[in-house]
Structure 1
Amino acid sequence: MSQTTLNYDGVEQRSVAEFTESAYLDYAMYVILDRALPHIGDGLKPVQRRIIYAMSELGLKASSKHKKSARTVGDVLGKFHPHGDSACYEAMVLMAQDFSFRYPLVDGQGNWGSMDDPKSFAAMRYTEARLSKFSQLLLDEIGQGTVDWAPNFDGTLDEPRVLPARVPHVLLNGTSGIAVGMATDIPPHNVTEIINGCVALLAKPSTTTEELLEFIPGPDYPTDAQIITPRDELLKLYDSGQGSIRQRAAYEVEDGINVVIKALPFQVSGGKVLEQIAAQMRNKKLPMVVDLRDESDHENAVRFVIEMRSKRIDIDTVMKHLFATTDLERSYRANFNVIGLNGRPQVKGLRAMLSEWLLYRVETVRRRLQYRLDKVLARLHILEGMLIAFLNIDEVIAIIREEDKPKPALMARFGLSDLQAEAVLELKLRHLARLEEMKIRTEQAELEAERQKLEKILGSETRLKTQVKKELLKDAELFGDERRSPLVEADSAQAMSEQDLLPSEAVTVVLSENGWIRAAKGHDVDGESLSYKSGDAFLAQDSGQTRQNAVFFDNSGRSYSLPAHSLPSARSHGEPLTGRLSPPTGSSFTQVLLGNPNDQVILASSVGYGFKTRLENLYSKNKAGKASLSLPNGAEVLTPAKLKSQQWVLVVTSEPRMLVFNEEELPELAKGKGNKLIQLPKGERVQAVFAFEPGQKLALKSGDYEKVFGPAALEEAFANRAKKGVNLPRTLKRVNQVRVVD
């Protein structure tokens, strides 16, 4: 880019690109350092720090009376933070909400919002506030030489750069903020656990993140909802400073039918959760739920009751669905991005963050003790001069009465310093009593002992760390509490499928000879008694549940499936299957099956081959179905037989002959031709395949003739698969039905 050089005195010449880059970087650094990110020392953003400090300057300690919030906001804006009053007040409100801050820093009076709607707080002219007891951990040492001061925005006042936090507040209340090109999301933690971790690090600086997790197992939100993030994921999060945390609502079951939700995840609106559940109920996506009630009150901040249709409902499955489809389970991003002691933003792991905070705390304690030591030494110096004066009180009085300038005279006569001489001259007459000398010597002894103690601590790094450790443990004793958010191992949430959400009702599916299908409620349905279109008649039926898939077979060995609940009602003639499925030209439907996915059936052909398979292997999302049974030339599909474990299999041929063998001899395949069921001479065909329990009676029907075989006759036909079997009466040459006789 070419630049035009202007020769005007005092004018800076810069390209637009250079100026824009510089201006944007300045703005970005301002947002990062002075607005959005917390400092590792006190864990506060600038606006929060200024609010806390302004309240302390107003005398709004935990023991004082509340004052109007507008007073505090006015002081903050006028003295330290020249920005919008609504943003400042909102930051103040956040620090007062016990459902937003794990350890609130502001004690509010009035309407400060609710868990259901955190921004429903009253205007600042209506609410009152003071500092909470916990805030003293940030302010107690502010006047003890522990902080660096900086001029405020107009240079008329000084404000602390960082508050002298006695605990690692950056991890206790957490924070979130969006800067330019970076963000921070730090979850809250338990003060006792964090302090125990700090003590462990002080004792052993090489403590690993995994070892720290023994003291700090995870975040601790201001809610009783469960943290379900696995330990290995928490370890990765704390090791790298980035990750995610999942929290799930806590619930219990009452009377075996009511689910009572007692705690919601952090910052989740109860009203929104109720609306999400109610919307699913309106859309018939929760047929197992009959009622939803909000029984929350002053004693129970959260109490939502979900009433199930019956005690047979699997509550765990329903709750997993609600966790997956509503805000009853939430995922929170974690990004431990803070401004470090070097003044630069950086993402830090748990160990790095605590180690750096401990450096800050040790230095703060060193400065506090040095400040106190300087005060002690100064006081000892003055007491030394006062003691000299008391021992020579008459001469001191004479010098003061007679000399025009007594101060230099006192300094010359007794070897006093300027401060000592000034202190002697400032003495009141009442302090000239005889007991005053004893008071001076007592104070002197006490201060001397304190001086030695302070010098010992300041002279030893080990003693300094021990002092920090004692103070941390004392603060943990005063402000520590039990963990609120339990850490539990839980299965992942999973939304139920459309079929799972349906009510499980008994249904019978009826197939006609022309391929028309319909479904009737209940299992006591006789398909042959139903009415059919002219030229059509009953072909097959099977019973099951509305949640199951109906499997259809055609005479080419292909299988098809449709959800049973989607089939037309039996109050009409139904509808043709060809409207939904696309079988090969010339094929026709022969059978319908219902059951659970793991139920087994026997697929066989008239040439004597077959296998067992699970019903789910016959499901097909394709309208054209799937090839399940391979048919040799001239073979026909036999009616599939439902099979259970340890049953016997009956094979009847056209000879007629009968063979019985154990189902374990049948191979289990997903599809194919199968293995030989019975030995067949040329021209002979298998008529039927059937499965039954050992000891049952079977009736074989051929046309209008039916013969019953008892357990003894069936045992006589029992042999290995692929054997010849036993002969049957010639009247059973064309067996078209086999049934169990009660």
Structure 2
Amino acid sequence: MTNTIDTYQDGIERVSLKQYTEKAYLDYSMYVILDRALPHVGDGLKPVQRRIIYAMSELGLKASSKHKKSARTVGDVIGKFHPHGDSAVYEAMVLMAQPFSYRYPLVDGQGNWGSPDDPKSFAAMRYTESKLSRFAEILLSELGQGTASWQPNFDGTLDEPVALPARLPYVLMNGTTGIAVGMATDIPPHNVNEIVDACIHLLEQPKATVADLCQYVKGPDYPTDAEVITPAADLLKMYETGRGSTKMRSVYHKEDGDIVVTALPHQTSGAKVLEQIAAQMQAKKLPMVTDLRDESDHEHPTRLVITPRSNRIDTDQLMNHLFASTDLERNYRVNLNMIGIDGRPKVKNLHTILSEWLTFRKDTVRKRLNHRLEKILRRLHILEGLLVAFLNIDEVIHIIRTEEKPKLVLMERYGISDTQAEAILDLKLRQLAKLEEIAIRAEQDELSRERDMIEKILGSEARLKTLVKKELIAAAAAYGDDRRSPLVARAESKAFSEEDMLSSDPVTVILSDKGWIRAAKGHEIDVEGLSFKAGDKLGFAIKTKTNQPAVILDATGRGYTVATHSLPSVRGHGEPLTGRCNVPSGSTFEGMLSGKEDQLFLMATDAGYGFIGKFADFQSKNKAGKAILSIPKGGQILPPVAIDSVVDHYVVALSNEGRMLVFPVADLPQLAKGKGNKLLSIPSARVANRDEYLVAATVIADGQRLIVHAGKRHLGMKLDELEHYRGERGRRGHKLPRGFQNVDKIEVE
């Protein structure tokens, strides 16, 4: 960069705006990342949290002390360590005190500290009282033992710890969220026992993989009894990459016909959930629910009651819809971004996090042992001097009484150090009388044994690991508990479609020859007796239900989907289908079908081709419809035939020349669209000239009767009487008896 800072004679430094803004923004970015938004892997705290905990410990607000006004803590924090707004500090403090926000709260509060429905409804800091919780001991218990690095506070008058000497990997215990510049963090909470087990395994097997560690760390453990339903494979990927998401689902049970929700996902408001359900009820999008109640109280913190319309409602299906459409099920982003022991922010996987923390912990234990060793050596040195004083007590007293500079005389006379001489001079007269050689030697022996033990640990990496392991086990025994959020495998939730919301009432759909459509309630209507517009007549009529759409086929093989519940009444002539669908001008309609999503149909053309299709594949939300049947040259569509099963059902294909072929339905392919396979062999030239074509194709099963109509004559045959006409699919078939060479139609009874 060519731009540099220039200093002029007036003493004013001048810099380009581009250079200044770049540096200012970079400084601000680094400050936000390192000193505000991201936690440190060592103690798992952001600076404001660390300063609150440290300030409370300096005020003597330990778990065994009495509560004091929160304003006192906040004042100390902003006055000594964190020069920001009091509201920001107090909100951070409140979060650490809320048992519904933190899995293991660090602050023990008295007064109104908010509620799960409204976490920000806490009282002002002048009203609430607080002290540190027992769990905060894992961060503070070793603070005065030479374990922490110190740095000056904002004005350089005090020192504050760079990171607290955490006895557990706290960064994963309560988790945290934060937004920095260009990066963010979302760390979920975990169970103490599971994390400690993983740490111990990693101590014993440093080459363990993330998959090995996930045998102990099953998944996040939130401060709620709701279920974590994220698949194990997704959790493993999340821990391997440091990024992913988790999903929580409410817990419910049935009680006297009602649905009772007893646990909500983390940070979910019961009042908001009820509002979301009520909004669907008011919009008439949830007709199967008649009442909502919030029966939560002190004894039952979460008890939301949902009353279905009747006992026939499938409550599991209803809850599946509510999971998909309300906060009864929530996703949580996971981004394991934190400041490592190298002082740099990075997204870390589970193995890296625990490895770095164990490195931090071993370094902390090593500092603690060195600090203790120094104290022991100093005490042993003093005890040696006291022993000299005891053995020569009369002369020592004489020197102190008579000499002007007794320290120098003692040092010269007995060859003791300045520290030893100072310790002798600091003794009170009555203490000299109590000095006993046995007591001094006993203390020397005890301290010597402790010194030897510490020196052995410091001299052996294996012994150091063993000590760390024992301390982890002790901490887990003291602060660990059972998992709160069960890990459960659940199917994906799915919201009701518009059709699912509709009542399942019988309805008959009538389509006229000219394409006018309408619907009549029930299945008993006499469609032959209906009136039509002048020049129009009955085309097709099907029996279906209001929650099942209908698909109309035109002469080109396209299918158009219409919602049966919205069709006009049978009292009028209906409305033209062209008003609902973009049907080509002059197109005629050749068939209509309806049923459940998995209902199978035989789709065929009189050219002798067909296939089996599922009704769901024929539907389309596009007004222009979708191509279903490919029609060979000279062919026409035959009416679709519903199929109950592909097992023990047979296709009957019959040509106008009286040729009939019977073959199993299973011989036909199941397709979503297309031409299909050959049903009955008809030469293509005869099809094109309309010399021979299929009169009908239908399906028959055992117990049913096939009736063939030829003019005024008809012939009835059961399935076992059709043996003569059975053959392989695509054959020419056999001719019917004389008199049935020109077949009009066939029916199945």
User: TM-score, normalization: structure 1?
Assistant: 0.90
1:695 aligned partner, one-letter code: G
**CA-to-partner distance for each residue in 1:684-723, whole Å, 9 max, x for gaps?**
66544443322334556678x6857353895476433632
Count of residues in correspondence between the two structures = 737
Map 1:8-23 onto structure 2 (within 5 A): 8=9, 10-23=11-24
- 1:148 aligned residue: 149
Cα deviation, residue 544, structure 1: 1.8
Deviates more, 1:660-669 or 1:579-588: 660-669
Q: 1:62 to 1:338 in 2, by over 3 A?
A: same
SS of corresponding position for 1:475: helix
Is 1:660–1:714's contact at 8 Å kept on the other side of the alignment?
Answer: no
Deviates more, 1:363-372 or 1:536-545: 536-545
Gaps of at least 5 residues in structure 2 are none
CA distance in 1, matches of 2:381, 2:564: 97
Matched, 1:219 2:229: no
Aligned match of 2:674 in 653, 671, 674?
A: 671
Is 1:257–1:309's contact at 8 Å kept on the other side of the alignment?
Answer: no
CA distance in 2, matches of 1:159, 1:516: 83
- 2:208 aligned residue: 207
SS of corresponding position for 2:143: coil
CA distance in 2, matches of 1:160, 1:712: 91
Is 2:35–2:47's contact at 8 Å kept on the other side of the alignment?
Answer: yes
CA distance in 1, matches of 2:477, 2:719: 82
Cα deviation, residue 729, structure 1: 5.4
CA distance in 2, matches of 1:98, 1:337: 24
CA distance in 1, matches of 2:307, 2:49: 44
Cα deviation, residue 188, structure 1: 1.5
CA distance in 2, matches of 1:178, 1:673: 58
Map 1:430-579 onto structure 2 (within 5 A): 430-433=430-433, 436-555=436-555, 557-579=557-579
Map 1:349-428 onto structure 2 (within 5 A): 349-428=349-428
CA distance in 2, matches of 1:662, 1:19: 83
**CA-to-partner distance for each residue in 1:43-75, whole Å, 9 max, x for gaps?**
111111111111111111111111111111111
Cα deviation, residue 85, structure 1: 0.5
Is 2:554–2:588's contact at 8 Å kept on the other side of the alignment?
Answer: yes
Is 2:411–2:418's contact at 8 Å kept on the other side of the alignment?
Answer: yes
CA distance in 2, matches of 1:556, 1:337: 59
Cα deviation, residue 375, structure 1: 1.5
SS of corresponding position for 1:332: strand
1:601 aligned partner, one-letter code: F
Deviates more, 1:282-291 or 1:185-194: 282-291
Matched, 1:345 2:353: no
CA distance in 1, matches of 2:669, 2:468: 74
Aligned match of 2:732 in 722, 726, 738?
A: 722
CA distance in 2, matches of 1:122, 1:555: 73
Cα deviation, residue 474, structure 1: 0.5
CA distance in 2, matches of 1:146, 1:632: 86
Cα deviation, residue 126, structure 1: 1.0
**CA-to-partner distance for each residue in 1:597-635, whole Å, 9 max, x for gaps?**
433333445566555444345434454545545566765
Cα deviation, residue 229, structure 1: 3.1
Deviates more, 1:452-461 or 1:426-435: 426-435
Map 1:88-237 onto structure 2 (within 5 A): 88-237=89-238
Aligned match of 2:747 in 705, 723, 738?
A: 738
Map 1:284-299 onto structure 2 (within 5 A): 284-299=284-299
Q: 1:500 to 1:52 in 2, by over 3 A?
A: same
Deviates more, 1:659-668 or 1:506-515: 659-668
Q: 1:725 to 1:48 in 2, by over 3 A?
A: same
CA distance in 1, matches of 2:53, 2:714: 96
Aligned match of 1:696 in 692, 695, 704?
A: 704
Q: 1:144 to 1:563 in 2, by over 3 A?
A: same
Map 1:32-111 onto structure 2 (within 5 A): 32-111=33-112
**CA-to-partner distance for each residue in 1:96-152, whole Å, 9 max, x for gaps?**
011111111000111111112111111111111000000011111111122222222
Query: What's the RMSD between the two structures over aligned residues?
Result: 3.2
Q: 1:728 to 1:316 in 2, by over 3 A?
A: farther
CA distance in 1, matches of 2:485, 2:262: 12
CA distance in 2, matches of 1:294, 1:474: 42
CA distance in 1, matches of 2:629, 2:373: 95
Cα deviation, residue 80, structure 1: 1.6
Is 1:228–1:247's contact at 8 Å kept on the other side of the alignment?
Answer: yes
- 1:282 aligned residue: 282
1:129 aligned partner, one-letter code: S
SS of corresponding position for 1:727: coil
CA distance in 2, matches of 1:684, 1:203: 83
Q: 1:629 to 1:8 in 2, by over 3 A?
A: closer
CA distance in 2, matches of 1:110, 1:537: 79
**CA-to-partner distance for each residue in 1:549-592, whole Å, 9 max, x for gaps?**
21223455543322222322334332122322344444433442
Q: 1:512 to 1:457 in 2, by over 3 A?
A: same
Is 1:678–1:725's contact at 8 Å kept on the other side of the alignment?
Answer: no
Deviates more, 1:81-90 or 1:328-337: 328-337
CA distance in 1, matches of 2:676, 2:354: 68
Is 1:658–1:728's contact at 8 Å kept on the other side of the alignment?
Answer: no
Matched, 1:31 2:32: yes
Q: 1:163 to 1:2 in 2, by over 3 A?
A: closer
Q: 1:434 to 1:176 in 2, by over 3 A?
A: closer
User: TM-score, normalization: structure 2?
Assistant: 0.89
Deviates more, 1:60-69 or 1:189-198: 189-198
CA distance in 2, matches of 1:58, 1:498: 61
SS of corresponding position for 1:62: coil
Cα deviation, residue 435, structure 1: 6.8
**CA-to-partner distance for each residue in 1:405-435, whole Å, 9 max, x for gaps?**
3333333333332222232233233334467
- 1:595 aligned residue: 595
Deviates more, 1:479-488 or 1:289-298: 289-298
CA distance in 1, matches of 2:513, 2:118: 62
CA distance in 2, matches of 1:221, 1:713: 66
Matched, 1:271 2:271: yes
Q: 1:706 to 1:224 in 2, by over 3 A?
A: farther
CA distance in 2, matches of 1:728, 1:614: 38
1:738 aligned partner, one-letter code: E
SS of corresponding position for 2:273: helix
SS of corresponding position for 1:412: helix
Percent identity, aligned pairs only?
Answer: 57
SS of corresponding position for 2:438: helix
CA distance in 1, matches of 2:530, 2:200: 81
CA distance in 2, matches of 1:629, 1:451: 91
Gaps of at least 5 residues in structure 1 are none
Deviates more, 1:692-701 or 1:19-28: 692-701
SS of corresponding position for 1:70: helix
Cα deviation, residue 389, structure 1: 1.7
